Amino acid sequence: MARIVMKFGGTSVADLDRIRNVAARVKREVAFGNQVAVVVSAMSGVTNQLVKYCTDLSPLHDAREYDAVVATGEQVTAGLTAIALQDIGVDARSWQGWQLPVRTDTAHGKARIQAIEGGELIRRMDAGQVAVVTGFQGVADDNRVTTLGRGGSDTSAVALAAALKADRCDIYTDVDGVYTTDPRIVPRARKLAKIAYEEMLELASVGAKVLQTRSVELAMNERVRVRVLSSFTEAAPDEETGTLVVDEDEIVEKQNVAGVAYSRDEAKITVRRVPDRPGIAATIFGGLATQNVNVDMIVQNISADGTTDMTFTVGKADLPRARTALGELKSQIGYAELLEDPDVAKISVVGTGMRSHAGVASTMFQALADKAINIQVISTSEIKVSVLIAAEYTELAVRALHTAYGLDA
């Protein structure tokens, strides 16, 4: 017997038939002798409609009222899922965020979970009842409803799993696991049986959108074993199903590189001929931070003639604000010109194995050089090497790297 949390996203509860399908999956786990808590998102499309209502009424709407409106989507799904479970003979009840309660801070619209009371749920699960919990929401100290921000239901599920000391948190989604890379680009991409938290984090942050980044961080901190699997395959899950996101130590056969990810969401900015003196970088990036511009990769060339070129990437959506911020700094800094290039892609190879293996980066550079792909910027972390290239080479680069690291099936 195990205690598991099963989380179903919007497409998995999109209509009544899909909700019945969810109920059947839960019943199967109960029949295996497992204790089950279910976390559900809103039916797909519902949250967008509710957000649109708020935005259409007032672009600068009160985030507390927005939360009260938007949180209803999950409340509907939770109630309906409980009804569907009862209809097939499974004892179940729904729980809204304020009922458990799921306590959060008061950062409405993007609240963070502080604590979940798990005691009552554990008693009921011990007695055989399935708990159906609204994802994405909680209640703040002022007794008002909060939401966690988009994708927050994954975080709700992991936090609930931690509170219930669950053996596993199964995240049902529309893909059947985490792949070595995007199968739409590389048909020979392989599903990973296991992936380490750190690897999943790096993959999530570079565009492999299977799990919400915050949910992976939380799983890593709380040591919650997370499984990503599909709600669209009929077979009962077994040991082979989906991808298990676990502690590095649980992965016996480590690859140097677990996966290749890409992101086309960034734009490159070069500030030309910046005076090369102390404090200049602080001025530039301080100015960008003031405008809420998130900077990712940064590279600074060696100085020549007392000036240098500063190149970095920002989210494409932040480009106008970055331009404004740097324009305002021009007289203060005294740079020559500003170059922008939105047609770039960031390609990353990720793997905890590279901690103990040299040569991962040079394999990458060689593979790209073999395809005559020019590298514009390089950045590295302990378990990741990323390069910025022209966007048109994205697929070519991903395929070349997938082969170079021996990931092809």
Residue 140 interacting with a second copy (CB under 8 A): no
Strands ordered across the beta sheet of 384-390: 259-263, 344-350, 384-390, 377-381
Nearer to a second copy, 115 or 369 (CB): 115
Residue 78 interacting with a second copy (CB under 8 A): yes
Cβ of residue 37: shortest distance to a second copy, in angstroms? Answer: 16
Residue 79 interacting with a second copy (CB under 8 A): yes
Q: Contact with a second copy (CB under 8 A): which of 83, 281, 298, 319?
A: 83
Query: Across the strands, what pairs with 5?
Result: 37, 169
Nearer to a second copy, 70 or 204 (CB): 70
Residue 72 interacting with a second copy (CB under 8 A): yes
The DSSP element (H or E) to which 69 belongs, if any, is helix 63-70
Over the window 39 to 68, marking each residue x when it contacts a second copy by CB under 8 A and - when it does not, the resulting string is -----------x--xx-xxx--xx-xxx-x
Q: Contact with a second copy (CB under 8 A): which of 6, 13, 30, 84?
A: 84
Residue 75 interacting with a second copy (CB under 8 A): yes
DSSP code per residue over 253-301 = S--S--EEEEE--EEEEEEEEEE--TTHHHHHHHHHHHTTPPEEEEEEP
Residue 129 interacting with a second copy (CB under 8 A): no
Binding segment toward a second copy, per CB under 8 A, in 70-78, 177-185, 276-284, 383-391: 70-78
Cβ of residue 304: shortest distance to a second copy, in angstroms? Answer: 55
Residue 13 interacting with a second copy (CB under 8 A): no
Alpha helices in 88-223 (DSSP H): 119-126, 152-163, 197-205, 213-222
| 3-state secondary structure (DSSP) of residue 167 | coil
Residue 321 interacting with a second copy (CB under 8 A): no
Instruction: Write b or e for each residue in 15-30: b if 16 or more Cβ atoms lie within 10 A of its Cβ, otherwise e.
Output: eeebbbbbbebbbebb
Q: Contact with a second copy (CB under 8 A): which of 36, 80, 200, 398?
A: 80
Cβ of residue 236: shortest distance to a second copy, in angstroms? Answer: 23
For 277, the token pair is 């003196």
Instruction: Write b or e for each residue in 59-72: b if 16 or more Cβ atoms lie within 10 A of its Cβ, otherwise e.
Output: eebebeebbbbbbb
- Count other Cβ atoms within 10 Å, centred on residue 121: 20
End-to-end CA distance of the chain: 35
Nearer to a second copy, 110 or 272 (CB): 110
How many residues contact a second copy, by CB under 8 A? 36
- Residue bearing tokens 């949910």: 215
Residue 317: how many CA atoms within 13 Å on its side-chain side? 3
Binding segment toward a second copy, per CB under 8 A, in 96-104, 170-178, 213-221, 284-292: 96-104
User: φ, ψ for residue 324 (rounded to 5)?
Assistant: -60, -50
Nearer to a second copy, 73 or 242 (CB): 73
Nearer to a second copy, 25 or 399 (CB): 25
Nearer to a second copy, 100 or 220 (CB): 100
Instruction: Write b or e for each residue in 138-174: b if 16 or more Cβ atoms lie within 10 A of its Cβ, otherwise e.
Output: bbbeeeebbbbbebbbbbbbbbbbbbbebebbbbbbe
Which segments of 89-136 are extended strands (E)? 92-95, 102-104, 113-116, 130-134
Residue 143 interacting with a second copy (CB under 8 A): yes
Residue 36 interacting with a second copy (CB under 8 A): no
Nearer to a second copy, 143 or 331 (CB): 143
**Kind of pairing, strands 266-275 and 307-315?**
antiparallel
Residues in touch with a second copy (CB under 8 A): 16, 19-20, 50, 53-54, 56-58, 61-62, 64-66, 68-69, 71-72, 75-76, 78-80, 82-84, 86-87, 93-94, 96, 98-99, 143-145
